[in-house]
Chain A
Amino acid sequence: MSASAFSGGKLAENIMHFVRALRAAGLPIGPGRTLDALRAVEAVGVGRRDDFYWALHSVLVNRREQRDVFNQAFHIFWRDPQLLEKMMSLLLPRLTSEEAPANDLDEVSQRVKEALAPSPVAAEGAAEPPEEIEFDAALTFSDRERLQAMDFEDMNAEEQAEARRAIARLRLPIEEVRTRRSRPDAGGRLIDMRAALRASLRTGGAIIPLVRRAPRTRHPPLVVLCDISGSMERYSRMLLHFVHALTNDRDRVQTFLFGTRLTNITRHLRHKDVDVALAKIAAAAEDWSGGTRIGKTLAEFNRLWSRRVMGQGPLVLLISDGLDQSAGEGLEAEMARLHRSCRRLVWLNPLLRFEGFEPKSKGIQAMLPHVDEFRPVHNLKSLAELATALAKPAPRRDERRAA
């Protein structure tokens, strides 16, 4: 870049455009930060490219996972701002400068590319993170309706991308359970003696006002077991986006993939950037789109992992179509054990979308008696319904202690 070529007002304008591009790529940057960026560049000067880079970086990036996006956008944008116009027609990897290593540019750059070559619909939608269960406001009402009810399997690439964005914003408000800790609460049943004495000293000890506390509630841990066999392929890829959103929304989420073997992907999912997380998962799980041996993998889970992750009465989401290669062999006993060691076992099955679905397969018959809830999961609507169902108190089940 020839930084000195930008004179006065032109530089400010370019920084503004750059900030807008970053915003479109999903970085939450407000107008105040644009001014900060200008001030930072003013203070540092534009004599050296790396000073300029880090000045902008310090103001515009405030999370680790934003670094890649910033890095790529910076190198593309400040090489030649005119490239913006050409972005639509050209392929991205050819445009990268030497500073950005080519192998980093697989999936993350997709977002940068979209941001720099904006289609107005996608760009607007990426801005503010909405609360609760809410879907992409950028879509028109009818688009949204259609997408809600559309089967994940029938979506084309663009619709899938849209659905993934919607999923990323889905929240799962699980019913909270009482803990043994307490919090201040004027109407609580417990008395906080320490606070009461402190309060009484304020009046010279004449009166001791009762300060009250109530038990604190907390969501139970969540364990997700996701089938990645061939028959589940489209769904499990989509649902991993859902699980990623869950993992980054709360603590104590453990996720396992199973096909012919069991893979713990909890650590990979903690990566805040969903594209990076999914790339790591793809590398970690070797049995994508293969067969399923549900009984064997559940046995492995029960033996090796259940004591480590099921200790505190978790909610278990089992995502599978129940089509088992080994015809349900040993499945019943393992399902029973899984059921006994958790608070609530919810089976999400995309096959339920077919009206008049009957559990004929041996695997499904073996699993069905041991789940607390059996729900479809094949489109956005069913995911939203899942969220509502889990927020309600669970139907009572006999007290079962962790196995």
Chain B
Amino acid sequence: MSQALPKTIDETAELLKSARYVADRNLATVLFLALKMGRPLFLEGEAGVGKTEIAKVLAATLGRRLERLQCYEGLDVASAVYEWNYARQMIEIRLAEAAGGADRTRLGEDVFSPRFLIDRPLLRAVRPTGEAPPVLLIDELDRTDEPFEAYLLEVLSDFQITIPEIGTIKAEKPPIVVITSNRTREIHDALKRRCLYHWVDYPDAARERAIVAAKVPGIGETLTREVVAFVQSLRGLDLFKLPGVAETIDWANALIALDRITLDPATVNDTLGVLLKYQDDIARVRGSEAATLLERVKAEAVAAGA
């Protein structure tokens, strides 16, 4: 059953928290505004900071359907918006012939009628269904090319889709739109203009601890503290790809699977591949650098505990 939209920023934060998504205040604010104003939310940030997760959490907590469109190069109308069911259309033509006296105009209208339309995510998101409007997730928009971006302009500003053979289909109520981008290229200003923009940053230590505690059941407090402190100090290094929150959670899970309750240099070296995904980065951190970081993390933990 669909829930009412949150009325305040605090309620928005609570809503996210109820689905174990720990958001900071500025994300809750921009999300609240996007819901309130009915504008698409454009989330940009490094890989693994929880951009896609926001849409999933919204759909789950608000009880809405999630329509997900994964973008890729060459994404076209047939796979993003709608496609005609050619096989059925051809059968229809043959049937009309068999019945005899196929009238050309009638046949044209019949064959291109909504019956033969296959809905794809964008069309499903704007098609009036009578229930609450869905959450539309347009994931990794930077992976597609400019022509598709240009197509989105009409959809995102008027929430309508034009099918030449049928006409314009307009949403009764605009869907909740979340667009994510990893910024492998710049998205055009015309599209950004239609959205509320938010840069999803790496969380600070306190929030990351809360995230790990919420996402990794059964993790001890010492390990949480050490894992988060280690990852946070890694982010201070000059690495090619810094570990995201997703990597932190993966690492915590990995350590639990290895039955560790505290970090030690050997384990860190062996499991570094969970955190860092570039050989240059791993080669740089493995060994003495990791040991130094770990020592500092432990010393700080002792200092904080005392």
Contacts and interface: CB of A to CB of B under 8 A. Distances in A.
B183 interface: yes
Nearest to B240: A303
Interface string B66-81: 0000000110100000
Contact of A205 (B74, B76, B84, B96): B96
B97 A205 contact: yes
Contact of B93 (A179, A194, A200, A302): A200
A307 B97 contact: no
A181 B74 contact: yes
Interface stretch (A71-79, A107-115, A308-316, A360-368): A308-316
B111 interface: yes
Interface string B186-205: 10000000000000000000
Nearest to B85: A193
B145 interface: yes
Nearest to B142: A311
A325 B44 CA distance: 37
Given A181-B76, A208-B90, A308 B147 contact: no
A201 interface: yes
B97 A197 contact: no
B280 interface: yes
Contact of B73 (A179, A208, A302): A179
Contacts of A251: 146
Given A308-B183, A308-B184, A201 B108 contact: yes
A197 B145 contact: no
A197 B89 contact: yes
Given A180-B74, A181-B74, A193 B238 contact: no
A228 to B, nearest CB: 23
Contact of A180 (B73, B84, B90, B238): B73
Contacts of B235: none
A123 interface: no
B74 A179 contact: yes
Contact of B97 (A180, A206, A303, A312): A206
Nearest to B87: A193
Contacts of A307: 182-184
B102 interface: yes
Interface size class of chain B, counting residues whose CB lies under 8 Å from the partner chain: 20 to 34
A333 interface: yes
Contact of B107 (A201, A312, A337): A201
A248 B90 CA distance: 47
A197 B240 contact: no
A311 B74 CA distance: 15
A302 B278 CA distance: 13
A204 interface: yes
Contacts of A179: 73-74, 145
Interface size class of chain A, counting residues whose CB lies under 8 Å from the partner chain: 20 to 34
A180 B80 CA distance: 14
Nearest to A309: B185
Contacts of A206: 97
B86 interface: yes
A337 B240 CA distance: 10
Nearest to B108: A201
Nearest to A306: B240
Nearest to A204: B104
Contacts of B89: 197
A251 B150 CA distance: 14
Most buried by A among B84, B93, B107: B93
B186 A193 contact: no
Contacts of B147: 181
A180 B84 CA distance: 20
Contacts of B240: 302-303, 337, 403
Interface in B253-288: 278, 280
Interface string B129-150: 0000000000000100111000
A307 B97 CA distance: 56
A193 B89 CA distance: 10
Interface in B73-129: 73-74, 76, 84, 86, 89-90, 93-94, 96-97, 102, 104, 107-108, 111
A311 B146 contact: no
Contact of B184 (A180, A194, A311): A311
A158 to B, nearest CB: 40
Most buried by B among A181, A193, A205: A205
Interface in A146-196: 179-181, 193-194
A197 B111 contact: yes
Contacts of B86: 193-194, 197
B107 A204 contact: yes
A119 B181 CA distance: 54
Nearest to A221: B185
A312 B111 contact: no
A222 to B, nearest CB: 13
Interface string A192-233: 011001001110111010000000000000000000000000
Given A179-B74, A197-B90, 11 more contacts: A181-B74, A181-B145, A197-B84, A197-B89, A201-B108, A208-B93, A308-B183, A311-B184, A337-B280, A403-B240, A403-B278
16 contacts: A179-B74, A181-B147, A193-B84, A200-B93, A201-B93, A201-B108, A204-B104, A205-B93, A205-B102, A206-B97, A251-B146, A307-B184, A308-B184, A309-B185, A312-B73, A337-B280
Interface of A: 179-181, 193-194, 197, 200-202, 204-206, 208, 251, 302-303, 307-309, 311-312, 333, 337, 403
> Which 7 pairs from chain A and chain B are nearest by CB?
A180-B74, A311-B184, A205-B93, A193-B86, A201-B108, A311-B185, A204-B104
